[in-house]
Structure 1
């Protein structure tokens, strides 16, 4: 499936109110990882209550020890502060990178906004150098806008 062909699938998952938020997020992770060959780890992090840290939610890929990430630390922590997309074509060029696996070569993190507030993010690791394009950024922004529509997304974490 192309990124465009995945959009209706993402919309459908988000509207499945009979599923918990966690299950919907996991379905999104699975569909992205299964259909985009350079998406090797796909997960969601959300602000952990009133703390200045992110908490790992649903994900697919290798297990990670990074279930809590302080704001400012790593790519995810930087996005929590900057409210901006962050595309890293080669993780070895980043001083403030948290290595989850030695196989990871690149990362993209896109924030999720609800009512103008950065509540979380989608984080994707790739085992390929420089795989992410502007098309990935726009697609993942779409995914994040859809995720933001889940009614209780900000109350889960």
Structure 2
């Protein structure tokens, strides 16, 4: 399975202290976008200081205007409040969705916890309808656990 083969690569990226945290996060984005066909936009959002908002971190894919997302708004903002994974098989079915691109059909967002606190999330958009499985969720939880070690 592709996910199992990518885990050592993620661990290697995280462990490379010769690179900055942002460089390592960008490398993770590039790895996932390059190796998983249905991952068309991969990025990180992080809690913006003491504000109730998320700030865009490293990402790969089409540029986005959504560099700041208030808690509760869109899929990412909802995950910041709920502290739970959010898998959206069809973004058109979501009332509280922030459209980044008309090509996006599905989204998955997994929170990143540091010492029990939701500090950010990985956000993945797909141009394929309903592409995400439980295996995607488990793999991305693994990625977030690895990322939590360096943020």
TM-score class, shorter: over 0.9
The residue matched to 2:12 in structure 1 has which SS?
helix
Deviations 1:127-152 (A, max 9, x none): 000000000000000000000011xx
Q: 5+ residue gaps in structure 2?
A: none
Quote the offset at 1:110 in angstroms.
0.0
Paired residue for 1:99? 99
Match of 1:112 in 2: 112
Q: How far apart in 2 are the matches of 1:15 and 1:53?
A: 29
CA distance in 1, matches of 2:92, 2:84: 21
Structure 1 runs of 4+ aligned residues shifted over 2 Å read: none
1:1-157 to structure 2, matched below 5 A, reads: 2-150=2-150, 153=151
Structure 1: 5+ residue runs without aligned partners? none
Q: CA RMSD for the aligned pairs?
A: 0.7
Structure 2 Cα separation of the partners of residues 29 and 56 of structure 1? 13
Instruction: Provide the rounded CA distance (Å) in 1 between the counterparts of 2:73 and 2:117.
Output: 19
TM-score (norm 1): 0.95
Cα separation, 1, equivalents of 2:33 and 2:115? 28
Q: Number of residues paired by the alignment?
A: 151
- Mapped partners of 1:73, 1:26: distance in 2: 24
Matches of 2:46 and 2:69, distance apart in 1: 10
Residues of 1 paired with 2:94 and 2:77: CA distance? 13
Once residues 17 and 79 of structure 2 are traced to their aligned partners in structure 1, the CA distance between those partners, rounded to angstroms, is 29
